[in-house]
Amino acid sequence: MRIFGVLFRLAWRNLWRNHRRTIIMLGAIGVGVWAMIFMTALTRGMVDQMITDSIGVLPGHVQMHHPDYQDDPSIANRISISDADLKDKFDDAGFEAWASRVRVPAIITSERESRGVTLLGVDPAAESEISFFDYEGVEGRFLDDAADKGIVIGEELADTLETEIGKRVVLMSQDPDNEIADRGFRIVGLYSASTKAVEEAYAFIGKTTAQKMLHIDDATTEVVFLGDDYRNVEPIYDAVTSAVDDSVSVRRWYEIDTYLGTMMNVMDGFVLVWVVVIFMALSFGLVNTLVMAVFERVREIGLMLALGMKPGSILGQIIIESMLLMTLGLAAGNFLAWATVTPLESGIDVSIVSEGMEMWGAASVLYPKLYASDMILASGVVLLLGFLASLSPAWRASRYEPVEAITKV
């Protein structure tokens, strides 16, 4: 291993021998790595937000339902465990962010219009940990407690219904006996969400009020649980599963919203493909540089062989040189990515295509996210593939015949 020092010194000095070539190559690697990480950060930010938003609105990280609820989201398929029992089960078991809700389809009617909505009967105290929007940001006020008699709807829905805070709307749904269950509400607040579709879809009322309106006593239709990281929901899933019997079904968010689950996996795949594609585009330049470097140095490589250096050391020397080049390029690229993504983390406004982003399921402000794991992945892939790409020119160099190489003009 003592020879490593001399190999490293040779590699480093040789790297700067043709400084223009090295700088161009560093530029290329830097730009490539920057693009890898920058694009990944954008994608991650978009998917993160889509998922966090949707998890707020939709399933939580883990959700519990009546087994038939997913196919038939009706009040008939409510959870058989009473709210009080749920409290015993989960509060005492140390679940921090969880809430039980009444969620049923309903029709909301103003003086002028009617629309189908998803009615959510919630307990504001429990929801504050979980829900997708900021209670402070609600125009007017959010529900005070589970027995609140008011309703909170989205701004977009209020527009469509031509109604406003203080006005009355009628909610119509169905009780367990298939009778129409309806009730008038006064609008107490308007929320805004990251997409219009969400603002149009959900109407919030107090949980107890909902239970009374639907004649379901102390029952709820869903219980949601939130953990720290949407990518790691297994601990909560296991804990919930072991706390209940099979009269309810417990599912993870990606089993409920398969589009999101797929999106996450596809994006993970995309990140890797993108990194590899960029590397391939770089590899031609890298191999080219090494081939030329070896070609120019035939004579001195011959000299080193003649003096008794082992072919393996020649191979190592070229590979070290290539790895040095990669490492410097990676450092530049990672720094560049960090320097460009960090100022953008407060959000990139893409609202000129907001409706288009909504079609993809994304919001109109992108928040790029720089993950250390992505930077490490990109750097790791580049180093590994860079190593493989250097093998051929390095191997060639180590196979020179000293006599021929030294006498080559």
Partner 1 sequence: MKIVLRLAWRNLWRHPRRTWLTTGAMVFSNILLVFMISLQFGMYGLMIDNALQIFTGHMQVQAPDYKDDQKMRQIVPDIVPLAKTIREELDSEMVAARGLTFALASSEERSFGIGIYGVEPEFEARVSNIPGLVSTGRYLAESDAAEIVIGGVLARNLRVGVGDELTLLGSGLDGSFAATVVDIVGVFDSGVNDIDRNIAEIPIGLFQDTFFMEGAGHQIVIVGDGLGAVPELQARVQSVLPADSNLVVPDWDELLPGLKQAIQADMGSSFFMYFVLVVLVSFSVLNTQLMSVLERTREFGIVMALGLKPGRLGRLVVLETAMMGLIGTAIGIVAGGIVTSWFTTNGLAFPGMDEMAARFNLPARMYPEINAFTLLAGPAIVFIFTMLAAIYPAVRLRWQNPVDAMRVA
Partner 2 sequence: MSAVRCVDLCKTYRQGDQDIKALDHVSIEIGKGEFVCLSAPSGGGKTTLLNAIGGLDIPDSGEVYVDGERIDNLSKGELADLRLQHIGFVFQAYNLIPVLSARENVEFVMQVQGMPAAERREKSNAILKEVGLEGLEGRRPAEMSGGQQQRVAVARAIASRPALVLADEPTANLDSKTADELMELFTLLNKHHNTTFVIATHDQRVMTYAGRLIRMLDGRIVDDIDQRAA
Alpha carbon distance 347, 179 (integer Å): 48
Q: Nearest approach, Cβ of 172 to partner 1 (angstroms)? A: 6
- Token look-up 């990139």 returns 348
Q: Nearest approach, Cβ of 300 to partner 2 (angstroms)? A: 5
Count other Cβ atoms within 10 Å, centred on residue 198. Answer: 23
- Token look-up 């890898």 returns 36
300 counts as binding partner 2 under rule CB under 8 A: yes
2 counts as binding partner 2 under rule CB under 8 A: yes
Contacts to partner 2 from residues 280-299, by CB under 8 A? 299
Task: Please give the DSSP secondary-structure letter assigned to residue 96.
Answer: -
Q: Nearest approach, Cβ of 285 to partner 2 (angstroms)? A: 23
Q: Nearest approach, Cβ of 393 to partner 2 (angstroms)? A: 18
Q: Which is nearer to partner 2, 39 or 314 (CB)?
A: 314
Q: Which is nearer to partner 2, 15 or 26 (CB)?
A: 15
Q: Which of partner 2, partner 1, none sits in contact with 249, Cβ below 5 to 8 A by type?
A: none
Contacts to partner 2 from residues 304-343, by CB under 8 A? 304-311, 313
Q: Which is nearer to partner 2, 64 or 293 (CB)?
A: 293
Q: Which is nearer to partner 1, 172 or 331 (CB)?
A: 172
Paired residues of 358 in beta bridges? none
Task: Answer yes or no: are the C-beta atoms of 263 and 47 closer than 8 Å.
Answer: yes
Task: Answer yes or no: are the C-beta atoms of 168 and 185 closer than 8 Å.
Answer: yes
Phi/psi for 63 (5° steps) reads: -135, 150
* Residues forming the site for partner 1 (CB under 8 A): 18, 20-21, 24-25, 27-28, 31-32, 35, 39, 42, 71-74, 76, 105-109, 111-117, 159-160, 162, 172-174, 178, 180, 258-259, 262-263, 265-266, 269, 274, 277-278, 280-282, 284-285, 287-289, 291-292, 295, 350, 352-361
Q: Which is nearer to partner 1, 71 or 229 (CB)?
A: 71
Alpha carbon distance 167, 342 (integer Å): 44
Q: Which residues contact 186 (CB under 8 A, 6 or more apart)?
A: 149, 150, 151, 166, 167, 168
Q: Which range touches partner 2 (CB under 8 A), out of 7-15, 142-150, 348-356, 388-396? A: 7-15
Angular region, 176: left φ>0, alpha ψ -120 to 50, beta rest: alpha
Q: Which of partner 2, partner 1, none sits in contact with 278, Cβ below 5 to 8 A by type?
A: partner 1
Q: Please choose, from the candidates 266, 249, 334, the residue with its C-alpha nearest in 3D space to the C-alpha of residue 71.
A: 249
Alpha carbon distance 324, 354 (integer Å): 44
Q: Which is nearer to partner 2, 49 or 398 (CB)?
A: 398
Site string for partner 2, 370-409 (x = CB under 8 A): --------------------------------xx--x---
Q: Which amino acid is at 289?
A: T
Per DSSP, the residues of 28-49 read: HHHHHHHHHHHHHHHHHHHHHH
